[in-house]
Chains A and B, each alone.
Chain A
């Protein structure tokens, strides 16, 4: 892997992992009351697939991502990455959150280097940091501090900070949710390009039906809390996709119907 990376520092040798979500249920204790958030969620992701998770606000999609990332153990059920159970956080599964959560005391370069530094391999892998920064188009901003960046640039840094670890599963928790609509459209296209180039498995939580259809191979629709899967829809259109595609419009209508919003059509 290292040899490959040296030979071509732009291409990361990441290959997507499969993910099996088996009978996952989860709940929170809030002031002594048990609040169920996930109810027997079951689905399988093939290596390199791009999955979008759609559902009403607060239904528990983000909680599912935290479980996949290994930040919390589920109450019941198993998560398997390439057949191996997930027991804790690991840099093969990296999360990009809705807020960029860059460390304000580190400049762009040091923020992107965070993962390699935490794993103790930064000294021998400096070129990967530069390559990741180039990849998201921030070559001139290595020394900039987070407070000097726009929202879109900050989110690009967060993306580079994730990609520098060569994740096998990239977990995106509404990463474009707080960006303005023009930046969002640009970054959606960039995400597709990155995903096609790297081949990592992607799990994207979003509220935006159009975004889900523009990006994903499959859209999994969740019910209100506690979240259950109500539909698993294959988006059978080639990339690059066009926002005006009548097939996508049809799928959009179906999904809005599943979410109980068909009255808007």
Chain B
């Protein structure tokens, strides 16, 4: 919850420098060097990465080696400048200091990766491309990659929205009405646990297009967890809430919309989260098998042509997208459920 983390940020000094400022004394030069030591080391590591690109000759022809080295030097310089100028950077300074260990680790990792692939091929070459090969994919194959990203987002959004909406409505209906529950519950128990991918062969010849078939499969994968968790959320609402609302003059529609649904929302978000995970899996499989677009298809295509750097590039983009989607969901939840204590931070 944002308010809590903010109050924590106020209460605790974020770095040793702030801590010293709290104690009310200025840091002398060597002391400030110690405090910023990690950031300086990170800068050195990035310089090392740049040098490792230039020092030895590449084992194959990668045109992006030099630009990559320059970029590494620029980043190293940036880290150093930001560290020395932290006092003039406002909130950015402490934020950088907090991330300095990660920057250091990243610099070391990239150096090792560079040396192990492009320079000495300790890792077998076509299967483990160097960083510059992946950069090359982003610069040279960008249009195709972007098309794939948009296709994936479109398919995912449509299927997920339909599945979430249908699952939510079904869940509320089962939780609220005994009659609906009587008819829907057995169907749900029979069909729900089936992995959505098991419907693939059926979906691809019953639906008019592979796109609608995939939308259906993604909706199915999303809908099941959303339904079950919405249902359990509505069913577990404290009866006293209904008593209170009824004595205050609430009609049944008020009890559903203003009591049952808000009370069930924490459960609904767990369902939406689980549905999101399940739908990613279906999306990739559907794109690999049926739809001739999207990141799943790009992965398949890259593997078919033994274009391993394209595969890694697509994997990185896919991971950013999935993580971004989950972040968005959690942000929405934090906003809607500010009233909850101690929700999990993503």
Write the residues of chain A forming the contact surface with B, with a CB cutoff of 8 angstroms.
Answer: 66, 69-71, 89-91, 93-95, 97, 99, 101, 103-107, 114-115, 117-119, 145-147, 161, 165
Q: What are 16 residue pairs bridging A and B, where the CB atoms are less than 8 Å apart in the complex?
A: A70-B247, A71-B243, A89-B246, A91-B248, A94-B247, A97-B244, A101-B244, A103-B259, A104-B340, A105-B263, A106-B262, A106-B339, A114-B245, A118-B250, A118-B254, A165-B249
> Which of A93, A106, A145 is in CB contact (< 8 Å) with B247?
A93
Please state if B339 and A145 are interface contacts (CB–CB under 8 Å): yes
| B241 on interface, CB distance cutoff 8 Å | yes
Closest chain A CB from B343 CB (angstroms): 12
Please state if B258 and A147 are interface contacts (CB–CB under 8 Å): no
Identify 15 new A-B residue pairs, CB closer than 8 A, beyond the known A91-B248, A165-B249. Answer: A69-B247, A71-B247, A91-B249, A99-B240, A101-B238, A101-B241, A101-B244, A103-B241, A103-B259, A103-B262, A103-B263, A107-B339, A114-B248, A118-B251, A147-B341
Closest chain A CB from B334 CB (angstroms): 14
| B338 on interface, CB distance cutoff 8 Å | yes
- In the bound complex, residues from chain B placing their C-beta under 8 Å from that of A104 are 339-340
| Most A-side CB within 10 Å, residue of B246, B248, B258, B265 | B248
Q: In the bound complex, how far is the Cα of B339 from the Cα of A103, in angstroms? A: 10
Please state if A115 and B248 are interface contacts (CB–CB under 8 Å): yes
Known A97-B240, A99-B240, A101-B240: A165·B339 in contact at CB below 8 Å: no
Q: In the bound complex, how far is the Cα of B265 from the Cα of A184, in angstroms? A: 34
What are the interface flags for B331-346 relative to A under an 8 Å C-beta threshold, 1 for contact and 0 otherwise?
0000001111100000
- In the bound complex, residues from chain B placing their C-beta under 8 Å from that of A115 are 248-249
- In the bound complex, residues from chain A placing their C-beta under 8 Å from that of B337 are 105
- In the bound complex, residues from chain A placing their C-beta under 8 Å from that of B341 are 147
- In the bound complex, residues from chain A placing their C-beta under 8 Å from that of B250 are 118
Please state if A90 and B249 are interface contacts (CB–CB under 8 Å): yes
Q: Nearest 5 pairs between A and B by C-beta? A: A115-B248, A118-B250, A91-B249, A119-B249, A89-B246
Q: In the bound complex, how far is the Cα of B339 from the Cα of A146, in angstroms? A: 8
Residue of B at shortest CB range from A88?
Answer: B246
- In the bound complex, residues from chain B placing their C-beta under 8 Å from that of A165 are 248-249
Q: In the bound complex, how far is the Cα of B262 from the Cα of A145, in angstroms? A: 14
- In the bound complex, residues from chain B placing their C-beta under 8 Å from that of A119 are 248-249
Q: In the bound complex, how far is the Cα of B124 from the Cα of A3, in angstroms? A: 87
> Which of A66, A106, A118 is in CB contact (< 8 Å) with B249?
A118
Q: In the bound complex, how far is the Cα of B337 from the Cα of A97, in angstroms? A: 25
Q: In the bound complex, how far is the Cα of B339 from the Cα of A115, in angstroms? A: 20
Residue of A at shortest CB range from B243?
Answer: A71
Write the residues of chain B forming the contact surface with A, with a CB cutoff of 8 angstroms.
Answer: 238, 240-241, 243-251, 254, 258-259, 262-263, 265, 337-341
Closest chain B CB from A174 CB (angstroms): 13
> Which of A66, A94, A105, A106 is in CB contact (< 8 Å) with B248?
A94
Closest chain B CB from A1 CB (angstroms): 16
- In the bound complex, residues from chain A placing their C-beta under 8 Å from that of B339 are 104-107, 145-147
Closest chain A CB from B1 CB (angstroms): 11
Known A91-B248, A114-B248, A115-B248: A105·B262 in contact at CB below 8 Å: yes
Residue of B at shortest CB range from A94?
Answer: B247
Known A101-B238, A104-B340, A105-B339: A89·B265 in contact at CB below 8 Å: no
Closest chain A CB from B281 CB (angstroms): 32
Q: In the bound complex, how far is the Cα of B238 from the Cα of A99, in angstroms? A: 12
Closest chain A CB from B253 CB (angstroms): 10
Closest chain B CB from A228 CB (angstroms): 26
Residue of B at shortest CB range from A104?
Answer: B339
Residue of A at shortest CB range from B266?
Answer: A105
Known A89-B249, A145-B339, A165-B249: A117·B258 in contact at CB below 8 Å: yes
Q: In the bound complex, how far is the Cα of B251 from the Cα of A60, in angstroms? A: 28
| Most A-side CB within 10 Å, residue of B240, B247, B254, B265 | B247
Known A118-B249, A118-B254: A95·B263 in contact at CB below 8 Å: no
- In the bound complex, residues from chain A placing their C-beta under 8 Å from that of B249 are 89-91, 115, 118-119, 165
Q: In the bound complex, how far is the Cα of B259 from the Cα of A147, in angstroms? A: 17
Q: In the bound complex, how far is the Cα of B249 from the Cα of A200, in angstroms? A: 18
Please state if B262 and A91 are interface contacts (CB–CB under 8 Å): no
| Most B-side CB within 10 Å, residue of A66, A105, A107 | A105
- In the bound complex, residues from chain B placing their C-beta under 8 Å from that of A69 are 247
- In the bound complex, residues from chain A placing their C-beta under 8 Å from that of B238 are 101
| Most B-side CB within 10 Å, residue of A94, A97, A118 | A118
Residue of B at shortest CB range from A70?
Answer: B247
Closest chain B CB from A202 CB (angstroms): 15
Please state if B258 and A95 are interface contacts (CB–CB under 8 Å): no
- In the bound complex, residues from chain B placing their C-beta under 8 Å from that of A66 are 243
Please state if A91 and B259 are interface contacts (CB–CB under 8 Å): no
Q: In the bound complex, how far is the Cα of B245 from the Cα of A118, in angstroms? A: 8
Please state if B240 and A145 are interface contacts (CB–CB under 8 Å): no
- In the bound complex, residues from chain A placing their C-beta under 8 Å from that of B259 are 103
Closest chain A CB from B277 CB (angstroms): 26
Closest chain B CB from A136 CB (angstroms): 16
Residue of A at shortest CB range from B240?
Answer: A101
Closest chain B CB from A119 CB (angstroms): 4
Closest chain B CB from A134 CB (angstroms): 20
Residue of B at shortest CB range from A92?
Answer: B249
Q: In the bound complex, how far is the Cα of B241 from the Cα of A97, in angstroms? A: 11
